[in-house]
Amino acid sequence: MSNLNQVELQNLRHLIGTQETCYQKLNTYASQCVDPQIKQMFTKSAQDALNTKTKLMTFLNNYEGNMEEKIMVNDILENIKAELTTYQGAISEAANQELRQTIQTIRNSSESFQYELFKVAQTKGYYKPAAPASQMDITNVKDELQK
């Protein structure tokens, strides 16, 4: 089996996560359905989503290449970055105070983990932050904004 590239790894992560979400939703909805036909459809779709997730996970678990730690760390950092954006959107739209606080707590925990992982990744040379802006670049931006 050939090596996975970053795009393939990102796509696998996204597809596996999507299938897990579908499975959980469909299972929950099926358990609450009254109509037997809809319940059966949701149950079957939930099983299909689980089967798809399992197939994709099997592929990832059987991957013969040695995935570099650096790739894994950066994949998780990207994943958390996307999560934080989603949490922020959900928080800003939450009218229910209890839900809002729950999501804020989850977001804060994810943000703490992301920062700790970032520090370790930076120390090990797995992650290189953007280069500092030069004084000339800063002056140029200031000049553009003052026009």
Q: Report the distance separating Cα 53 and Cα 61, nearest Å.
A: 12
Please provide the distance, in angstroms rounded to a whole number, between the alpha carbons at the two ends of the chain.
Answer: 57
Dist. CA 9–CA 71, nearest whole Å: 9
Question: Using CB atoms within 10 A of its CB, is residue 19 exposed (0-12), middle (13-18) or buried (19+)?
Answer: buried
Confidence of residue 66 (pLDDT cuts 50, 70, 90): low
Q: Name the band, by pLDDT with cuts 50, 70 and 90, for residue 61.
A: confident
Mean pLDDT of 16-21: 89
Kindly list the domain boundaries of the chain, sorted by start residue: 1-67, 68-127
pTM: 0.58
What pLDDT does 1 receive? 44
